[in-house]
Amino acid sequence: MRNTLKYTKMLEEMGVPRNQAETHIHIMTEIIESDLATKLDIKDLRNDMKGHIVELKNDITQLRTELKNDIAQLEYRMTIKLGTIVTISLAALATIFKFF
């Protein structure tokens, strides 16, 4: 809390004894400050996020490379299968024409 003296005076004006007002403010300050992130907390979080972003970029690059390799292998297999189909078809046509 920024201005604890101001809040203490406000509580005193409302009839709260000074020691109780100070205790109230002390408790409120502890509750609020325990949940606030410090600059160091934010800096650590940023560093953690940077590390994760680098890992994600590396993972994406690796996946992209694997995908390109998989596509190249599929293209190769499709070429082999198509070549086989064409060869068998030509052989079948040659055999059919041979009988005529």
- Does 32 share its domain with 80? no
Q: 78 is in which domain, residue-wise?
A: 38-100
Dihedral over Cα of 82, 88, 94, 100: its sign: negative
- Does 48 share its domain with 95? yes
- Does 92 share its domain with 68? yes
**Domain total in the chain:** 2
Tens-digit pLDDT profile for residues 38-74: 889 899 999 999 989 999 999 999 999 999 999 999 9
Provide the residue count of the chain. 100
pLDDT at 31: 81
- Does 45 share its domain with 75? yes
CB 25 within 8 A of CB 11: yes
- Does 57 share its domain with 72? yes
Contacts of 20 (CB under 8 A, 6+ apart): 11
Dihedral over Cα of 57, 47, 34, 7: its sign: negative
- Does 47 share its domain with 20? no
